[in-house]
């Protein structure tokens, strides 16, 4: 059954440690910086190994300068949106090399009509809702804002946090496309 298959795929997605998650996300942020989409310093703020040895959990985030919670990355040069802010969080059990939860989220306003929007990809840390169809473990929310957004959860294939980031940015700027279509006449790979 597709929903159970999806659960298995999402569960397999969890088999990765801090090092891989942090490095891959940093590389993506570095690429965003190289393309003038954010300040380069954010590559150095995602983050050291914030590990609570008692709970055995490790957090990945853009380290907050003034608070215990993470800071957003203000994005630039995305013509379709204004004041976009990107949040990245992940929680891992690094000893078991297990990705427990992640969120890649972008808030902003459409340049065309100033309407607010939020879009976020979330891997849940636990089973929620009534089942795998109604509340897929890895899903996307899109809506007006975090309170008024439609409570729909769009199921997603097993995307890593950095693949989710690729997807999210590419929705806003196709120059970011990590998997371009083959040129006309070329055979698809």
Site for another protein, rule CB under 8 A? 19, 22-24, 26-27, 30-31, 33-34, 39-41, 43-59, 61, 63-65, 67-70, 72, 85, 87, 89, 91, 93, 100-101, 103, 105, 107, 118, 125-127, 145-147, 149
Taking the least distance from each CB to another protein, the nearer of 125 and 177 is 125
Q: How far is C-alpha 147 from the geometric centre of its chain's CA atoms?
A: 19
What phi-psi label fits residue 185: left (phi over 0), alpha (psi between -120 and 50 degrees) or beta?
Answer: left
Cα dihedral sign, 73-167-3-93: negative
Neighbours of 6 (CB within 10 A): 20
> Shortest gap between Cβ of 117 and another protein (angstroms)?
13
Instruction: For residues 17 and 30, give the distance between their C-alpha atoms in angstroms, rounded to a whole number.
Output: 20
Neighbours of 113 (CB within 10 A): 6
Q: List, as one string, the DSSP characters of 5-41.
A: HHHHHHHHHT---HHHHHHHHHHHHHHHHHTTSS-GG
> Shortest gap between Cβ of 153 and another protein (angstroms)?
13
Taking the least distance from each CB to another protein, the nearer of 14 and 167 is 14
> Shortest gap between Cβ of 63 and another protein (angstroms)?
7
Taking the least distance from each CB to another protein, the nearer of 107 and 166 is 107
Taking the least distance from each CB to another protein, the nearer of 151 and 182 is 151
> Shortest gap between Cβ of 184 and another protein (angstroms)?
30
- What the block records as the tokens of 33 is 């910086």
Taking the least distance from each CB to another protein, the nearer of 85 and 109 is 85
> Shortest gap between Cβ of 164 and another protein (angstroms)?
15
């Amino acid at each position: 059954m597709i929903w159970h298959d999806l659960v298995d795929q999402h569960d397999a997605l969890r088999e990765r440690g801090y090092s891989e998650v942090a490095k891959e996300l940093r590389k993506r942020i570095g690429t965003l910086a190289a393309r003038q989409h954010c300040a380069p310093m954010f590559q150095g703020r995602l983050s050291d190994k914030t590990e609570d040895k008692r709970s055995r959990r490790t957090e990945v985030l853009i380290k907050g300068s003034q608070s215990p919670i993470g800071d957003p990355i203000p994005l630039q040069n995305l013509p379709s949106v204004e004041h976009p802010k990107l949040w990245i969080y992940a929680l891992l059990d690094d000893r078991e090399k297990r990705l427990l939860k992640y969120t890649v989220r972008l808030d902003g306003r459409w340049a065309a009509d100033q309407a607010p929007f939020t879009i976020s990809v979330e891997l849940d840390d636990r089973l929620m809702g009534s089942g795998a169809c109604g509340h897929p473990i890895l899903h996307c929310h899109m809506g007006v804002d975090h309170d008024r957004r439609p409570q729909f959860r769009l199921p997603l294939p097993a995307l890593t946090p950095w693949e989710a980031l690729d997807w999210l940015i590419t929705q806003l700027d196709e120059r970011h496309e990590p998997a371009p279509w083959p040129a006309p006449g070329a055979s698809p790979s």
